């Protein structure tokens, strides 16, 4: 399968990346007492833009750990140092843990947007796999999750609900069948701030048994593009299905590869060194209104 990562680069580089891509169970965490901001006023949430040294991605879900720290997820390749075609996390270059990340509203090719918060890269599946000498080819190809620890000054601005759709209500643990409806919310800076293009509804192509459940190919009405990387996907019951990782060039041109969150999160829990790491359910009910 030929795929391209979906991180957007700021300014002129974003157009080049877009052109290249075109061709081509939740338990209650110890930090559950966190007082989340109201969903309609929170500035840090799934779907917010995340900038890492000029590269823009989209937040997927909110997580907490046993100490009550708050994290926002995006794709590990959002901190990558290589080209869009670098898809093997076991040998691709990455910025180090501790790298600063900005949460931004309204970023586009015309404006840098407004920074609404900051955090630091606290976990990268790529760095973790490289440090441990991971040899599982499926993990190397599809384990594409990173976590950004929200700076304490901005934790009060966080809400875990997916904009437009609500949820997540839990974690999908059994994959998807061909034709099953999926939901997502991308926030690429390449869309010039057209918010109506952010909510996405589509269908699963069905689980690919060849990759042992690590990835779910999906089609949405408009495919995820550079800048949508890392964004959340929900199944038809509102469970967290996965995180946007790639845009396929072949054999399913225009489809997106969605990394399996259940496996990605289990990997982080077992190897990431963050005790008590858990997904946080949304405060808003899942409501597929399209």
Question: Using one digit for the tens of pLDDT, what is the confidence trace for 251-281?
Answer: 555 689 999 999 999 999 999 999 999 999 9
Residues 71-106: tens digit of each pLDDT: 999 999 999 998 877 889 999 999 999 999 999 999
Does position 134 have pLDDT exceeding 60, yes or no? yes
Residue 142 lies in a domain: yes
pLDDT per residue over 2-23, tens digit each?
455 655 544 323 333 333 333 2
pLDDT band at 229; cut points 50, 70, 90: very high
Q: How high does pLDDT run on average in the chain?
A: 87
Residue 290 within a domain = no
The encoded tokens of residue 144 equal 């594409």
Question: What is the number of structural domains in the chain?
Answer: 1
pTM of the prediction? 0.88
Question: How confident is the model at residue 85, as a pLDDT?
Answer: 76
Residue 285, domain member (yes or no): no
- The verdict on residue 198 lying in a domain is yes
Asked whether residue 191 is assigned to any structural domain, the reply reads yes
Q: What is the mean pLDDT of residues 133-161?
A: 97
**The token pair that represents 133 in the structure block:** 């000498």
Residue 243 makes CB contacts below 8 A (sequence gap 6+) with 60, 73, 74, 75, 144, 145, 230, 231, 232, 233, 258, 259, 261, 264
CATH number at 226 reads: 2.40.10.120
Which residues span the domain enclosing 125? 2-33+43-279
Region 208-222: mean pLDDT is: 87
- The position carrying tokens 């069948």 is 177
Backbone phi, then psi, for 63, in 5-degree steps? -135, 155
**DSSP letter, residue 89:** T
- Output the CA angle 255-63-190, nearest 5 degrees: 40
């Amino acid at each position: 399968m030929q795929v391209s990562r979906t991180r957007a680069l700021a300014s002129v580089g974003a157009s080049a990346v877009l052109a290249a891509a075109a061709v081509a169970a939740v338990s209650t965490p110890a930090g559950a007492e966190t007082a989340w901001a109201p969903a309609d006023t929170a500035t840090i949430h799934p779907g917010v833009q995340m900038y890492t040294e000029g590269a823009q991605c989209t937040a997927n879900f909110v997580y907490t750990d046993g100490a009550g720290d708050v994290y926002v997820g995006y794709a590990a390749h959002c901190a990558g140092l290589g080209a869009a075609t670098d898809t093997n996390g076991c040998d691709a270059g990455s910025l180090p843990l501790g790298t600063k990340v900005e949460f931004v509203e309204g970023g586009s090719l015309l404006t840098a947007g407004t920074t609404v918060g900051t955090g630091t890269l606290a976990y990268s599946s790529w760095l973790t796999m490289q440090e441990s000498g991971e040899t599982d080819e499926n993990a190397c190809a599809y384990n594409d999750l990173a976590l950004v620890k929200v700076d304490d000054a901005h934790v009060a601005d966080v809400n875990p609900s997916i904009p437009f759709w609500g949820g997540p209500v839990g974690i999908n643990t059994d994959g998807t069948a061909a034709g099953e409806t999926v939901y997502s919310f991308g926030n690429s800076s390449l869309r010039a701030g057209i918010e109506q293009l952010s909510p996405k509804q589509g269908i699963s192509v069905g689980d690919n048994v060849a990759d042992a459940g690590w990835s779910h190919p999906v089609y949405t009405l408009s495919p995820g593009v550079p800048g949508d990387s890392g964004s959340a996907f929900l199944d038809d019951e509102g469970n967290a299905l996965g995180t946007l990782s790639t845009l396929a060039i072949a054999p399913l041109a225009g489809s997106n590869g969605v990394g399996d969150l259940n496996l990605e999160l289990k990997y982080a829990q077992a190897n990431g060194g963050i005790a008590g790491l858990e997904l946080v359910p949304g405060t808003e009910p899942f409501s597929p209104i399209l």
